[in-house]
Structure 1
Amino acid sequence: MNIQDRVLGILNSDARETFLLALGHRMGIFTREALDEDAAHGTQQARACNEMTIAIWSQVWATRDAKVEGYPDSDFLPVLLDKADRGNARRYLRHSLESSMLMLETDGAIEPDATSP
């Protein structure tokens, strides 16, 4: 199962909102970490992390309120990947996704197989 399938599976489960909240939280932490990097790359990466965080929080609000439009689930990860790639911040996205899925697995919200490579 690839990462797109894993994310789609979570977004189509009862763990959706918990996953998005964890992902947004972790991305916020990585934004701060990116700022601690060297000046040129850190700012670029932090900006990308911030853009991803905005997309994640938009998805949270769309989950909570039917009047708010979010990204279609199938477009959500590609949007995040595009933002990450534009700012050379894919590693922050990967770490955020992995730790959010691990948290869900640890809490029993998803099966362990759902997060294995």
Structure 2
Amino acid sequence: MNIRDRVLAVLESESKEVFLLALGHRMGISARFIFSEASSDALQQARACNEMMIAIWLQVWAMKDAEGDGYPNSEFLPILLGKADAGNARPYLRDAIESALFSVHGNGESGQGSMSP
């Protein structure tokens, strides 16, 4: 099972909220790490991480809101990938996803898979 399938499966499970909270937390840590580096595209990457965090927190909030204004599960990862690609931050997204999946599944799932479309 690739990462895309694993993310969709967890978004459709009872572990969705735990996954989203872990994902948002890891994206915040990534943004903080980016600011500690002196790379030329750090600001662009940090902005991408911020945009991804906004999408993640929207999903968490939608779970609590009766109207549920979040993204459909099937569109959520492509939304994040688009934001990551716009800011050259896909490695940070991948790290955050793998970490969030680990928080849900422990080491029972292999970390291998492709996030490419």
Q: Using structure 1 for the length normalisation, give the TM-score.
A: 0.89
Higher helix share: 1
1:112 maps to 2:108:
yes
Structure 1: 4+ residue segments shifted above 4 A: none
Partner residue in 2 for 1:52: 52
Distance (Å, rounded) in 1 between the aligned partners of 2:103 and 2:56: 17
1:61 maps to 2:57:
no
Greater displacement, 38-47 / 10-19: 38-47
Note the residue ranges of structure 1 that are not aligned, 5 or more in a row. Answer: none
Query: Aligned residue pairs: how many?
Result: 112
Q: Which amino acid aligns with 2:4?
A: Q
Residues 24, 56 of structure 2: 8 Å contact kept = yes
1:98 maps to 2:94:
no
Greater displacement, 45-54 / 35-44: 35-44
Distance (Å, rounded) in 2 between the aligned partners of 1:98 and 1:91: 11
Q: Which amino acid aligns with 2:104?
A: L
- Superposition deviation, residue 103 in structure 1: 1.4
- Superposition deviation, residue 39 in structure 1: 5.1
Quote the sequence identity (%). 56
Q: What is the CA deviation profile of residues 49-86 of structure 1, one whole-angstrom value per residue up to 9, with x for unaligned ones?
A: 00000000000011122313011100000000000000
Partner residue in 2 for 1:18: 18
Greater RCO, CA 8 A, separation 6+: 2
Q: What is the CA deviation profile of residues 67-115 of structure 1, one whole-angstrom value per residue up to 9, with x for unaligned ones?
A: 1301110000000000000000001000000011111123xxxx824x5
Q: CA RMSD in A?
A: 1.5
Q: Which amino acid aligns with 2:30?
A: F
